Structure 1
Amino acid sequence: MTTSASIAGELPRPGARQSISQLPVNLFASVMGLAGLSLAWREAYRAFGLDLRLGEAAGWIAVSVFVILAVAYAAKFIRHRAAFQAEYSHPVMSNFFATIAIGLLLLSAFLSPYSTHLGQAVWLAGTLLTAALAYAVAQRFLSVQQNAEHTLPPLLIPGVATLDIAVTGASMPFGWAYEVNMFAFAVGSVLALVLVVLIFGRLRHQEPLPLAMRPSLMVLVAPFAVGFLAYTNLTGRYDMIASMLFYFGLFMFVVVSPKVFRRDVPFGITWWAISFPMAALSTAAFKYADQVGGTGLHTLAFVIFAMLTVAILILFLRTLVILINGTLLRV
């Protein structure tokens, strides 16, 4: 049975042997963060003329990390089926399977300028996987009674994944793409609305999150930042609804940041949960500033982007350290 320590990404005891069975599915969140940084860098290039090569390098690293993780996790599925089943059936860890789908959708946006057909194929794969996972989550939600203590921010990830279909699929040339995007926007928006209310209720009435789980609070930013991107992509409008989504996402970022960025929060894979919400907010800030204008908004967009870049760099280096020293996969 998966323990609360393993959910939080707490490091296993020293001296234990290594096994691919210990590869956590939430490590796919690193692909989301790296790909999100690359897409945000393209916006920074348009806004400030920053060197685009750095952002594209982050995107290709994201592609490489996804391929490596996909092969490794497939090996875990084949060789350690019980460990896979424990993650998939767990009420919290199961939500992180949606990070695989979000990674595919973001990579489709990154790859499209290089190969239109490859970008479309990856988007189709990500869309199908996202829809399947959203259906599975909804079925579990309506069929299986859950403990209140498991109503945590990661529950939002499958809903955010559905919204990402609309974020990355607006330029798809298929005749049916618009309706698929609208379907995804509807499902993702309502799921996010329901789950945000439940999570706020849990945070208000239950025990505070353990320190090691604090980084997952940043996921509360994602529905609003991603919702902004999906809404503006589908409608082409930067109206009052778009402003509301952007500013509430910014408000949540300001609220949860002091709870997340603390020295007493131990490092673990759960820290990657901060990466994509920050990347989505960064991209949203650039797009909003471009439409509305003003030095203040452009400065805000650059500050969020700088924070994102530093955060991804630190997370990437610290993850490499625990991978190289063997801590990541210790039993």
Structure 2
Amino acid sequence: MQTITAVQKQKSIGSVQFLPVNLFASVMGISGLALAWRQASKLFGAPLVIADMIGIIAVLAFIILSIAYISKWVLYPQKVKAEFVHPIMGNFFGTITIAILLLSSVIGTYSHIVGQVVWVIGTVTTLVLCFIIVTRLLNGNIEHGHAVPAWLIPGVGTLDIAVAGGSMPFPWAHEVNLISLAIGGVVALIFLTMILSRLIHHAPMHSGLTPSMLIMIAPFEVGFLGYVNFEQRIDQFASILYYFGLFLFIVLFFKVFKKSIPFGASWWGVSFPLAALSNAALQYAMFVNSWLLIAVSAVILVVLNIALIVLFIRTLKALFNGNLLKG
């Protein structure tokens, strides 16, 4: 009877071989939410316990997903290989390395040493992955239809090195942050141009990829955070990055958030650019100290919380009804 029950449970939930790598974007979004609430504690006096609880959820989510995906790698290596070499899905492996970088900021609040170790791991893996993805693209024969916002993830990931490592005490951290900003900034600019050209001149993307359009605001908001952390000040260039990212978010909001788009793991792609926007808005509002910008940051934080709560609930529902891990 126990064997039959286990088989039925496996059939109802699905198989780990169908675990999508882009689900790691959830860790990015939840980590970003924890960091946003830490900023909100400075601006609005919000209790720090909120950020602490969300940070714990982010760490647990990463551990659970890592165990599950390593199991997939061990049991179904060909599935992982096929996902990695895929011209679109392969870019989502950047969500793993970026999640590690963001978790270094979450963990670093409680243990500087552990946070620094995690940051080093995230930095090395992010730079290596960016090298692999860019090298692969330069091999040529890339179809126009494969130029999608997911291309930005490995490039934006290098910007997150400076976001999480702006205060690292290592003597070489300054140059690593600088090279990361250089790589991320230029790669994001080139890829964004190609992606916009594809979106403007070719057929619309598959509806399942529509939520990933919000990733296009990430280079500007993550760039803002990385640049500010590196320079330790907000200047006019930083302001331009923030404001254009905010404008692009407003434009894309009405294209992405539609009931007609079916739910899937790809919806988590909206979480981390939205979290980056929220952190940037809070930080910029504290700098300018304008009631309007403070109100804007509050609205974005509310939108981020609602989005992640809905995504979390719908993901659990999809998991237990067997839709998340099915072929």
TM-score (norm 2): 0.95
Shift of 1:17: 7.8
Between the aligned partners of 1:317 and 1:52, the Cα distance in structure 2 is 24
State how 1:153-192 maps to structure 2 within 5 Å.
Answer: 153-192=149-188
Secondary structure of the 1:132 match is helix
Shift of 1:145: 1.8
Deviations 1:57-108 (Å, cap 9, x if unpaired)?
A: 1111110010111111111111101111110010000000000000000000
Match of 1:224 among 220, 224, 227: 220
Deviations 1:216-251 (Å, cap 9, x if unpaired)?
A: 010011000000001111112311111110000001
TM-score (norm 1): 0.94
| 2:305 aligned partner, one-letter code | T
| 2:24 aligned partner, one-letter code | F
Between the aligned partners of 2:213 and 2:150, the Cα distance in structure 1 is 8
| 2:33 aligned partner, one-letter code | L
Distance 1:144 1:113, change over 3 A: same
Between the aligned partners of 2:207 and 2:14, the Cα distance in structure 1 is 26
Between the aligned partners of 2:13 and 2:265, the Cα distance in structure 1 is 19
**Is the Cα contact below 8 Å between 2:211 and 2:270 reproduced in 1?**
yes
State how 1:1-331 maps to structure 2 within 5 Å.
Answer: 18-331=14-327
The aligned length equals 317
Secondary structure of the 1:76 match is helix
**Is the Cα contact below 8 Å between 1:16 and 1:330 reproduced in 2?**
no
Secondary structure of the 1:178 match is helix
Deviations 1:266-325 (Å, cap 9, x if unpaired)?
A: 111111000010110010011111111110010000000010011011101111111122
Percent identical pairs in the alignment equals 47
Distance 1:127 1:195, change over 3 A: same
Shift of 1:208: 1.0
Secondary structure of the 1:328 match is coil
Between the aligned partners of 2:197 and 2:252, the Cα distance in structure 1 is 16
Structure 2: state its 5+ residue gaps.
1-10
User: After the TM superposition, which segments of 4 or more aligned residues of structure 1 sit over 3 Å from their partners?
Assistant: none
Secondary structure of the 1:143 match is coil
**Is the Cα contact below 8 Å between 2:12 and 2:320 reproduced in 1?**
no
Secondary structure of the 2:138 match is helix
Shift of 1:16: 7.9
Structure 1: state its 5+ residue gaps.
1-14
**Is the Cα contact below 8 Å between 1:166 and 1:184 reproduced in 2?**
yes
